[in-house]
Amino acid sequence: MNQWYCSICHADLHQETRPETCDSCGADSRVILSSQEEIPESVEQVRDNARKKLKKICAAYPFCDGNYDKICQREAYGGPVGFGGAGAGHSFHENVAALSRVKLKTSVVGDHFEPDTSTNFLGIPLDFPVLASSSAGVEKYNNCMDETDFCRAVVAGSKEAGTIALRGDTASYSLDANPSLTAIGENGGWGIPIFKPREQSVLKKFLDMAEENKARAVGVDLDGCGSTIMAGMGQPTFKKSIREIRELAEHTDLPFIAKGIMTPEDAEMCAEAGVSVVAVSNHGGRVLDSTPGTADVLPAIKERLGDRVTITADGGVRTGYDVFKMIALGADAVLLGRDIIRAAVGGGTLGVRLHLAHVEKVLKKAMFMTGTRTLESAAHKIIL
């Protein structure tokens, strides 16, 4: 009798051949591993597994920057961009470049201390200010993973790591079958669904479903109005006016997130519309080429908004050092996208937990080496 391991729910399974599904959670065979050989024990092993499963889509490079020499980056000519960026990938690349231009100031003289990475996000206590971003559609990538299993891995892995996950939306999601809401509901509402800017009446139904699944907050990917995937599958998305954003925020009792903001003007309008969170993002460079990096626009948005709303940021964030930089530039929390996809594909729930734990460890080192005891005291540690 052989022993198998479900990388989604951590169940041990006993039978001669690889199970078709997990007896405990229903996950399919693609995420059931041999307990003797296949269970990853490190972030490196998780990434190696992801590299094999994402062959010709993502090579899990040590430096993921969207440069033209990476296999993910090519002009898609109107088709899905995969792991790459829109057009020539300048926006994707600039996210990474903008963060690389931000420098940290070392401070090693003083009393010894243990950095405190804990934070409170919309009333949710978190061990550290890093959330999984609202990705979706992983089943397109070499059929590497079932979509619901992917959402379960991200939600559960984030919870095990001491944080919370945003979950995304794509054309295969519907009011009748929504993997993000399924995973959030199964985990007692421990998650935040972010929906594409669909028609208002449809969005209101999704918001109602999020409340029924006890989600902690909800939001809309406003820059998803430029989604080629949704348009290509006959599901239109729309720009949202300040009136429509206010209507959505007032429709739900949950905190509302406006994601995809890149200018102080848009940020101001969202705050006026009553959102709880402005998420600074260019969609990982996937909807418009030649935008600035998010790290370049974040300070001006923070200056405009002050402390009126919570601010998150994503784009080019790969390490705990990058997280620290975004916090110092004005973010209250930071989102990880591509790395979380790779972690889930390479190791399921375990992979997500391992990756987030590594990011938290490096964040603590960045804080320690710059003399930063708490996240609130990070701003003056940056040399621009």
Q: What mean pLDDT is predicted for residues 286-293? A: 95
Decide if 107 is inside a domain: no
Q: Is a pLDDT exceeding 70 seen at residue 103?
A: yes
Decide if 129 is inside a domain: yes
Q: Quick one: pLDDT at residue 153?
A: 98
Same domain, 32 and 145: no
- Quote the CA–CA distance of 132 and 336 in Å, as a whole number: 5
Q: In CATH, what number is assigned to the domain containing residue 33?
A: 2.20.28
Same domain, 129 and 266: yes
> DSSP characters for 17-50?
S--SB-TTT--BGGGEEETTTT---SHHHHHHHH
Decide if 102 is inside a domain: no
Give 307-324 pLDDT, tens digit per residue.
999 999 999 999 999 999
Structure tokens at 40: 């990853």
Same domain, 146 and 235: yes
Give 151-178 pLDDT, tens digit per residue.
999 999 999 999 999 999 999 999 999 9
Q: Is a pLDDT exceeding 70 seen at residue 384?
A: no
Average pLDDT, the chain: 95
Same domain, 129 and 240: yes
Q: Quick one: pLDDT at residue 230?
A: 83
Number of domains in the chain: 2
Same domain, 311 and 175: yes
- Quote the CA–CA distance of 384 and 103 in Å, as a whole number: 6
Q: What mean pLDDT is predicted for residues 80-105? A: 94
Q: Is a pLDDT exceeding 70 seen at residue 189?
A: yes
Decide if 271 is inside a domain: yes
Q: In CATH, what number is assigned to the domain containing residue 221?
A: 3.20.20.70
Q: What mean pLDDT is predicted for residues 21-30? A: 96
pTM: 0.97
Structure tokens at 97: 């470049």
Same domain, 173 and 293: yes
CB of 245 within 8 A of CB of 258?
yes
Same domain, 32 and 125: no
Q: What percent of the chain has pLDDT over 90?
A: 92
Same domain, 204 and 343: yes
CB of 318 within 8 A of CB of 334?
no
Candidates 55, 58, 113; CA nearest to 83 is: 58
Domain residues for the domain of 26 are 1-39
**Using DSSP, how many helices (H) and how many strands (E) does the chain show?**
11, 15
Q: Quick one: pLDDT at residue 235?
A: 86
